[in-house]
Amino acid sequence: MKTKIYDLLSSVKLTVTLFLVIAASSIFGTIIEQGLTPDKYRQIFGETFFHVLKFFNIFDLYHSWWFTFLLILLSVNLIACTLKQIPRVAKITIKSGKKIDDSLFTSSQIMNTLYFKEPQSDIEKRVSLFLKSISNSLTRVSNNGVFYYFIEKGKFSRFGMILVHVSVLFIFAGGLIGAIWGFGGQMNLVEGGKSDTVYLFGNEGTKKLDFYVACDNFSLKYYKNGIPKEYKTVLTIINEDKEVFKSVIRVNHPLTYKGFKFSQASFGVAGAYNFRVKVINMTTKEENLLTLDMMNKVPVSGNDLSFAVARFESDYMGQGPAALGVLIKPGEEHDIFWLNKNSPIQRGDYVFMLNDFDIVYYSGIQVNKDPGVILVWIGFILIIVGFISSIFFEHIRVWVRVSTEKEGCEISIAASTSKNKDIFKEKINRMITEYLEGETA
Evaluate the CA torsion angle 305, 308, 313, 314 in order and state its sign.
positive
Cα 397 → chain centroid:
39
Choose between 336 and 423: whose C-beta lies nearer to another protein: 423
**Residue 311 CB, nearest approach to ligand HEM (Å):** 54
Q: Taking CB under 8 A as the rule, does residue 223 contact another protein?
A: yes
Cβ contacts of residue 418 below 8 Å, gap of 6+? 154, 157, 158, 394, 395, 396
Helix (H) or strand (E) holding 440: none
Q: Convert residues 399-438 into a mask of x (bound to another protein by CB under 8 A) and - (unbound).
A: --------------------xxxxx---------------
> Minimum Å distance from CB 214 to another protein?
19
Provide the binding-site residues for ligand HEM, judged by CB under 6 A: 10-12, 15, 77-78, 81, 161, 164-165, 168, 387, 390-391, 418-419
* Angstrom distances, CA of residue 324 to CA of 269, 339, 340: 16, 6, 9
Number of residues written out for the chain = 441
How many C-beta neighbours within 10 Å does residue 188 have? 18
75 vs 168: CA distance, rounded Å? 9
236, 257, 285 from 211: Cα distances, Å: 10, 10, 57
CB of 167 to ligand HEM, least distance (A): 8
The CA distance from 160 to 158, in Å, is 5
Q: Are 268 and 188 a contacting pair, CB within 8 Å? A: yes
Chosen residue from 1, 4, 30, 240 binding another protein by CB under 8 A:
30
d(CA 381, CA 377): 6
| Nearest Cα residue to 401 out of 114, 96, 98, 129 | 114
Spatial CB neighbours of 306, under 8 Å, sequence gap ≥ 6: 297, 298, 299, 300, 327, 328
Distance in Å, CB of 370 to ligand HEM, minimum: 20
Contact 305, 283 (CB under 8 A): no
CB atoms within 10 A of CB 164: 20
**Identity of the residue, 261 or 347, whose beta carbon is nearer to another protein in the bound complex:** 261
Q: How many residues bind another protein (CB under 8 A)?
A: 55
Secondary structure class of 427 (helix, strand, coil): helix
Does 394 contact another protein by CB under 8 A? Answer: no
108-116, 149-157, 263-271, 320-328 -> range binding another protein (CB under 8 A): 263-271
10 binds, among ligand HEM, another protein, none (CB under 5 to 8 A by kind): ligand HEM
Nearer residue to another protein within complex by CB, 32 or 173: 32
Binding string, residues 352-381; x marks residues near another protein by CB under 8 A: --------------xxx-x--x--x---x-
Binding residue for another protein (CB under 8 A) from 42, 84, 207, 250? 250
77 binds, among another protein, ligand HEM, none (CB under 5 to 8 A by kind): ligand HEM
Residue nearest to ligand HEM (CB): 81
Name the residue nearer to ligand HEM (CB basis): 11 or 93: 11
384 near another protein, judged by CB under 8 A: yes
Site residues (CB under 8 A) for another protein, limited to 45-84: 62
Asked if 318 touches another protein (CB under 8 A), the answer is: no
**CB neighbour class for 53 (10 Å; exposed up to 12, middle 13-18, buried from 19):** middle
**Does 210 participate in binding another protein (rule CB under 8 A)?**
no
Site of interaction with another protein (CB under 8 A): 12-13, 15-16, 19-20, 22-23, 26-27, 29-34, 40, 44, 62, 175, 184, 223, 225, 227-231, 250-254, 261-265, 366-368, 370, 373, 376, 380, 383-384, 387-388, 391, 419-423
